[in-house]
Amino acid sequence: MLLRLFLGVLPFVGSALSQAAAQYTDPDNGITFWGLTDVVHNVTYGYVFPPLATSGPNPNEYIAEIVAPLVNQWVGFALSGSMIDSLLVAAWPNNGKIVFTTRYATVYPGPVITTLPSTSINSTHWKWVFRCQNCTSWTGGSIDVSSANAVPAWCVSTIAVDNPADPGTSMVQHTDFGFYFFQFSLAHVTAAQYNNWAAGGTGGGSTTTITSSSTTTTAPPTATVSVDYIIVGSGPGGIITADRLSQAGKSVLLLERGGPSTGQTGGTYQPAWAKGTNLTKFDIPGLFESMFTDANDFWWCKDITVFAGCLVGGGTSINGALYWLPSDNDFSTSVGWPAAWTNHQPYTAALKARLPPTDAPSTDGKRYLEQTSVVVSQLLTNQGYRNVTINDSPNAKDHIYGSLHLFIGGKRGGPVATYLQTALARKNFQLKIYTEVLNVVRNGSQITGVKTNDTSVAGGIYPLNPNGRVILSAGSYGSARLLFRSGIGPTDMINLVAGDPVAGPNLPPSSQWINLPVGYNVSDNPSINLVFTHPSINSYDNWADVFTDPPQADAAQYLASQSGIFAQASPRLNFWEALGGSDGVTRWLQGTARPGAASVTTVYPYNATQMFTITLYLSAGIKSRGRLGINAALNALPLVNPWLVDPVDKAVLIQGLQNIVAGVALVPGMTMITPDNTTNIVDYVNNYDPSTMDSNHWIGSNIIGTAGKAVVDVNTKVFNTNNLFVVDASIIPSLPYGNPHGLLMSVAEQAAAKILALSGGP
Ligand SMILES: Cc1cc2nc3c(=O)[nH]c(=O)nc-3n(C[C@H](O)[C@H](O)[C@H](O)COP(=O)(O)OP(=O)(O)OC[C@H]3O[C@@H](n4cnc5c(N)ncnc54)[C@H](O)[C@@H]3O)c2cc1C
Ligand SMILES: *[C@@H]1O[C@H](CO)[C@@H](O)[C@H](O)[C@H]1NC(C)=O
Ligand SMILES: *[C@@H]1O[C@H](CO)[C@@H](O)[C@H](O)[C@H]1NC(C)=O
Ligand SMILES: *[C@@H]1O[C@H](CO)[C@@H](O)[C@H](O)[C@H]1NC(C)=O
Ligand SMILES: *[C@@H]1O[C@H](CO)[C@@H](O)[C@H](O)[C@H]1NC(C)=O
Ligand SMILES: *[C@@H]1O[C@H](CO)[C@@H](O)[C@H](O)[C@H]1NC(C)=O
Ligand SMILES: *[C@@H]1O[C@H](CO)[C@@H](O)[C@H](O)[C@H]1NC(C)=O
Ligand SMILES: *[C@@H]1O[C@H](CO)[C@@H](O)[C@H](O)[C@H]1NC(C)=O
Ligand SMILES: *[C@@H]1O[C@H](CO)[C@@H](O)[C@H](O)[C@H]1NC(C)=O
Ligand SMILES: *[C@@H]1O[C@H](CO)[C@@H](O)[C@H](O)[C@H]1NC(C)=O
Ligand SMILES: *[C@@H]1O[C@H](CO)[C@@H](O)[C@H](O)[C@H]1NC(C)=O
């Protein structure tokens, strides 16, 4: 569908130019923009240009921002607004990120847009700050950046775009628009200022003022106290490693950039209906779906373009909590583990002892909202699947189904409720939150500490004891970026760091850069949703109001005893099927069924209270790999998507989808509504939006293996360093059968043992 733009309304130009652009400084990033706030909608538009050229053509870019109250579903502008043939730049918030598009009648691909770090979404506004390169001219039009009398246009819409996840979505016409005077000629700054901001830097001149919070009550740690181990990141990898190292008597400092999550960690963000309890959004499993629909989504890492949790517990504080004990195959040499790792059983047993899984998380032992399980089990039983207790036999993953495994006690639980608590009880362990590590400090191969944004310690540096070690557990994106910022990784990535005015000076000299395949080899499960209806289903209103206005009886039951529907996340049933590929490699299909649906596309009417989703993932055996990295603003992002690159991966996933679809007709009352019967499965997969194929199961960016091919060695030590380690999802060489954090927690148990056993340490 085409977007009808300003074209139809241009005759109004000049009729209401009451406003004019003026200069202002955005306090969040220190950028001096020229622009205006439209007085009706309170949307701010700001622009700043690099210096005018002294000869030849002017630079073709600018930095801009849109700051909009949440009621504005999408907002756009056309800098050439008073002319026919405008290029529209538009954006909207979606799931905590800004989605943007450039249109010239249809999607127009010329501009190169980089979202800058001061972009944010809070409870009242969304704000998009970005660099727009190749943006001042387009086929059919241009702007004159030296003009003293430009007349740009803005437009807002209170009607959401059709598919907010998709930059190419169809959009209804804006609900309001306007024009204003703008002297582009005034809105230029020096190259130094511009380049700093364009690279994500903040502030005006040479002195950057960092205001530290005056509300800090905890005593600042003294930089003179060095420790044996500094661990960066309190996700499952970091917490378990920290607990085991501190248990062995080592002094351990765990640094976490985010803040509290569950009530036990001091978290207080809770639904109004849980007021008066310690139960936060992060404690109550049934609030999982609301992670993606909450305007105040402070828990996402705003400088990573895919979902990642930046708070105590990392991903385990915001994920679906699906918990699968690893299988022997998940640790075999055939999937890339060194032989020394295949004996995983003692470590998996240690994990199971600390964190026993259950397939009935409600404290009363009952299962709730099981209609979806009943319908899907009928479909699967017809196809020869068996009903099993999945974690009782982790190695059996063909033609089986069962209930989800999660944590006990009807709460999120996980490593935060267990391993972190035992660590915190030791006086040789310290957790510091709201402390972001910027890079490791090193002299060649020897790491001496980490540099942080903590302004209360000298140089922001936390030092190591002489034989001390640093362990990166900042997640698949976070640890890769820390390596780049420490001069470790592919040269193209380190060069981006070198170009950053803040991070560049902290790099070691280029003679000390260490070239390793950081960011390559990444894998994530491609996942495809099929949506169905069945008369027996209760879609639970698609989980829409669980945070704000849940069914009263269910909320009351949960508060009283952590039982009932809220004691688990939305998924209900899980299954696996092994499928042979034409390349002779077996791949596994994992399916997860839940009441409700994220999106429906059908030409037929359907009953939304009866809908449910089966998500089909391709898991173990995947060959496709991608690459992750950073951009010039040092935001972390996928550089090469890892989904269905390998044609046999794609053929096998299509086969798995077709197997499921073939069974639908045999289940009375079951109807597939997405895709409906006007779209075949092959077309459905071919046209599937890649960004919604993401399963958030990223692994492999710091892959374990042999020198020359991998980033970390058999002891999880970064090659060509003496004392730098990585223990998080990024070292995992291949995706396991199931959602990966169960495997990762066993990996962390084993890594801690190997690090402790390695000579030369503290
Ligand atoms: C929405 C979502 C749903 C998921 N659902 C499931 C599921 O149901 N089951 C499952 O098994 N897996 C699931 N996963 C995946 C699982 O959560 C991850 O595999 C797991 O959390 C990875 O753990 P990690 O230790 O590698 O890193 P993370 O959990 O990402 O933790 C990294 C930590 O490091 C911190 N950090 C990062 N950079 C810095 C820095 N520079 N300085 C200081 N601290 C830093 C972060 O704030 C974070 O706390 C899901 C993931 C997401 C995002
Ligand atoms: C814009 O801001 C003004 C002043 O704060 C306020 O009165 C008005 O309601 C706001 N309008 C919208 C649409 O938010
Ligand atoms: C700039 O945009 C034009 C189209 O407007 C496109 O042809 C060109 O390839 C783009 N240049 C770059 C460097 O992206
Ligand atoms: C939300 O963000 C806007 C724009 O940056 C800011 O003006 C406002 O104060 C913020 N509100 C809250 C509650 O943080
Ligand atoms: C809140 O947590 C404290 C400390 O862990 C505990 O003593 C108390 O019982 C909890 N209160 C509720 C309502 O759960
Ligand atoms: C599978 O078997 C278990 C244990 O017998 C049972 O509780 C559960 O209801 C069965 N699941 C389905 C979907 O029939
Ligand atoms: C350091 O970074 C964290 C996370 O980005 C932030 O919450 C904290 O306020 C920062 N600290 C300082 C002193 O700027
Ligand atoms: C760096 O290490 C070398 C030897 O490896 C040593 O000679 C030098 O003094 C160290 N430099 C600093 C600044 O510590
Ligand atoms: C939709 O489904 C619900 C639940 O089965 C049922 O109560 C309702 O009558 C249905 N609505 C229509 C319009 O068929
Ligand atoms: C397609 O589905 C619709 C709605 O379920 C149904 O009415 C129609 O008969 C189906 N057509 C075919 C060819 O199966
Ligand atoms: C990781 O990727 C690099 C670059 O593609 C490749 O050379 C290397 O063999 C891969 N490593 C492993 C262990 O697969």
Pick the closest to residue 189 from 177, 178, 201, 180 (CA basis): 201
Is it the case that residue 216 has pLDDT exceeding 70? no
Sorting pLDDT into bands at 50, 70 and 90, what band is 82? low
- pLDDT over 90 percentage in the chain: 80
Q: Residues enclosing ligand 1, CB less than 6 A?
A: 232-238, 255-258, 307-310, 314-316, 318-322, 436-437, 473-475, 478, 482, 696-697, 728-729, 739-742, 744
Average pLDDT over residues 673-689: 95
State in Å: Cα 718 to ligand 11 middle.
15
- What average pLDDT score do residues 520-536 get? 98
Kindly report the protein residue whose alpha carbon is nearest to atom 13 of ligand 10. 677
**Annotated catalytic residue within 125, 174, 405, 697:** 697
Q: Cis peptide before 647, with omega less than 30 degrees from 0?
A: no
> H/E element holding 559?
helix 552-561
Given ligand 4 and candidates 41, 45, 124, which is best to mutate, with the most ligand atoms within 8 Å of its CB?
A: 124
Identify the three-state secondary structure at position 514. Answer: strand
* CB contact at 8 A, 110 and 191: no
Does the beta carbon of 521 sit less than 6 angstroms from any atom of ligand 11? yes
Tokens representing 627 are 């690459």
**What mean pLDDT comes out for the span 128-134?**
97
CA-proximal residue: ligand 4, atom 7 (nearest): 125
Nearest residue (CA) to ligand 2, atom 5: 42
* Residue having the nearest C-alpha atom to atom 2 of ligand 3: 110
User: Does ligand 2 have an atom closer than 6 angstroms to the CB of 69?
Assistant: yes
Q: Which of 166-180, 215-229, 325-339 has the highest mean pLDDT?
A: 325-339
Cα 463 to chain center, whole Å? Answer: 30
Token pair listed for 696? 């958030």
Taking the CA atoms of 550, 591, 629 and 89 in sequence, report the sign of the dihedral they define.
Answer: negative
DSSP letter, residue 204: S
* pLDDT for 149: 79
Determine the atom of ligand 8 nearest the C-alpha atom of 445. Answer: 5
Comparing 140-144, 392-396, 493-497, the range with the smallest average pLDDT is: 140-144
642 lines ligand 11 (CB under 6 A): no
Q: What are phi and psi of 120, to 5 degrees?
A: -160, 160
Q: List ligand 3's pocket residues with C-beta within 6 A.
A: 110, 112, 134, 138-139
What are 573-632's pLDDT values in tens digits? 999 999 999 999 999 999 999 999 988 999 999 999 999 999 999 999 999 999 999 999
Query: If we measure between CA atoms, which residue out of 238, 733, 271, 154 comes closest to residue 546?
Result: 271
Tokens read off for 28: 């969040």
d(CA 237, CA 640) in angstroms, rounded, equals 25
Closest C-alpha residue for ligand 7 atom 6: 434
Q: In testing the pocket of ligand 2, which one of 42, 44, 126 has its CB within 8 Å of the most ligand atoms?
A: 42
pLDDT at site 212? 28
DSSP structure class, residue 736: -
pLDDT value of position 6: 39
Indicate whether 12 pLDDT > 60.
no
Mean pLDDT of 498-516: 96
pLDDT score of 8 more than 70? no
Closest ligand to the CA of 310: 1
Note if 534 is an active site residue. Answer: no
Q: Is the CB of 604 under 6 A from ligand 10?
A: yes
Q: CA distances (Å), 241 to each of 434, 478, 744, 746, 754, in order?
A: 20, 17, 11, 10, 11
Residue owning the nearest CA to atom 8 of ligand 7: 434
Which bound ligand lies closest to the C-alpha atom of 602?
10
Q: From the CB of 453, is ligand 7 less than 6 Å away?
A: yes
- Does the beta carbon of 175 sit less than 6 angstroms from any atom of ligand 2? no
CA–centroid distance, 168 to ligand 3, in Å, is: 18
| pLDDT in the model for residue 206 | 32
According to the model, what pLDDT value does residue 522 have?
98
Ligand nearest to the CA of 446: 8
Q: Which of 335, 521, 702 to mutate to test the pocket of ligand 11 (most atoms within 8 A of CB)?
A: 521
Segment 181-196 shows an average pLDDT of 90
Identify the nearest ligand to the CA of 699 by its number: 1
Whether 374 lines ligand 6, by a CB cut-off of 6 Å, is yes
Q: Output the six-digit token pair for 546.
A: 């669980």
Which residues are CB-contacts of 452 (< 8 A; sequence separation ≥ 6)?
Answer: 255, 435, 436, 437, 438, 460, 461, 462
Whether ligand 10 lies within 6 angstroms of the CB of 677 is answered as yes
**Centroid of chain to Cα 628:** 12
User: Alpha carbon 390 to chain centroid distance?
Assistant: 28
Tens digits of residue pLDDT in 269-313: 999 999 999 999 999 999 999 999 888 999 999 999 999 999 999
Weakest mean pLDDT among 98-102, 220-224, 318-322, 627-631: 220-224
Residue 115 scores a pLDDT above 90: yes
Q: Name the residue of 253, 254, 257, 439 to mutate for ligand 1: max ligand atoms within 8 A of Cβ.
A: 257
Q: How much distance in Å is there from the Cα of 472 to the middle of ligand 11?
A: 21
- Residue 647 CA, chain-centre distance (Å), reads 26
In the predicted structure, residue 387 carries a pLDDT above the cut 90: yes
Q: How many angstroms separate the CA atoms of 521 and 517, rounded?
A: 8
Which residue has the least CA distance to atom 13 on ligand 8? 443
Question: For ligand 2, what atom is nearest to the CA of residue 42?
Answer: 1
Query: Which band of pLDDT confidence, cut at 50, 70 and 90, is reported for residue 84?
Result: low
In the prediction, which pLDDT does 506 show? 96
Q: How many helices (H) and strands (E) does the chain have?
A: 11, 33
pLDDT digits (tens, 9 = 90+) for 20-64: 788 888 988 989 999 988 878 899 999 999 999 989 999 999 999
Question: Tokens for 26?
Answer: 């955005």
| CA of 491 relative to ligand 8 center, distance in Å | 24
Residues in CB range of 12: below 8 A, 6 or more apart: 179
Ligand 2 centroid from CA 43, angstroms: 10
Cα 155 to Cα 307: distance, rounded to the nearest angstrom: 29
Q: From the CB of residue 333, how many other CB atoms can be counted at a distance below 10 Å?
A: 12
Amino acid symbol at 626: G
Domains with residue ranges and CATH for the chain: 3-198 (2.60.40.1210), 362-403+526-618+644-692 (3.30.410.10)
Contact 721, 693 (CB under 8 A): no
How many residues does this entry show for the chain? 762
For ligand 9, atom 1, name the residue with the nearest CA: 607
Residue 584 structure tokens: 């002779």
CB 718 within 8 A of CB 483: yes
Q: Average pLDDT in the 696-701 region?
A: 98
Return the closest-CA partner of residue 736 out of 644, 654, 586, 621: 621
Q: Can you give the pLDDT at residue 1?
A: 26
End-to-end alpha carbon distance in the chain: 63
SS3 call for 417 = coil
- pLDDT for res 204: 66
- CB of 517 within 6 A of ligand 11: the answer is yes
| Closest approach atom of ligand 4 to CA 122 | 1
Percent of the chain exceeding pLDDT 70 equals: 94
- pLDDT score of 557 more than 80: yes
Distance CA 170, CA 57 (A): 35
535-571: b (≥16 Cβ within 10 Å) or e: eebebbebbeebbeebeeebbebbbeebbbbbbbbbb
What is the model's pLDDT at position 16? 43
Decide whether any atom of ligand 4 lies within 6 Å of the 123 Cβ: yes
Phi, psi of 484 (to 5 degrees): -55, -45
Q: Which of 541, 610, 611, 671 to mutate to test the pocket of ligand 9 (most atoms within 8 A of CB)?
A: 610
pLDDT of residue 202: 86
Q: Indicate which atom in ligand 10 lies nearest the CA of residue 678.
A: 1
Q: Write the pLDDT tens digit of every residue in 401-426.
A: 999 999 899 999 999 999 999 999 99
Residue 462 CA to residue 211 CA, distance in Å, equals: 20
Which has the closest alpha carbon to 226: 405, 33, 430? 430
Q: How far is the CA of 663 from the centre of ligand 2 (A)?
A: 54
Pocket probe for ligand 11: among 709, 730, 732, the residue whose CB has the most ligand atoms within 8 Å is 709
Average pLDDT, the chain: 91
Ligand nearest to the CA of 325: 1
**pLDDT at 456 exceeding the cut of 80:** yes
CA-to-CA distance for 48 and 64, rounded, in angstroms?
A: 6
> 339 φ, ψ to 5°?
-55, -35
Q: What is the pLDDT of residues 325-360, one digit of tens each?
A: 999 999 999 999 999 999 999 999 999 999 999 999
**Lowest-confidence region among 57-66, 82-91, 458-467, 581-590:** 82-91
Query: DSSP strand E in 514-635: where?
Result: 527-533, 573-580, 586-595, 611-618, 627-630
Q: Is the CB of 535 under 6 A from ligand 9?
A: yes
Locate the DSSP E strands across 143-189: 153-157, 176-179
Query: If you measure from the C-alpha of residue 325 to the centroid of ligand 2, how many angstroms do you get, rounded to a whole number?
Result: 53
pLDDT of residue 18: 54
pTM for the model? 0.75
pLDDT (average), residues 367-391: 98
pLDDT of 192 > 80? The answer is yes
Check residue 660 and give its pLDDT.
Answer: 97
Instruction: Classify residue 572 as left (phi > 0), alpha (psi -120 to 50) or beta.
Output: alpha
Q: Mean pLDDT over residues 361-376, rounded?
A: 97
Residue 134 CA to ligand 3 center (angstroms) comes to 6
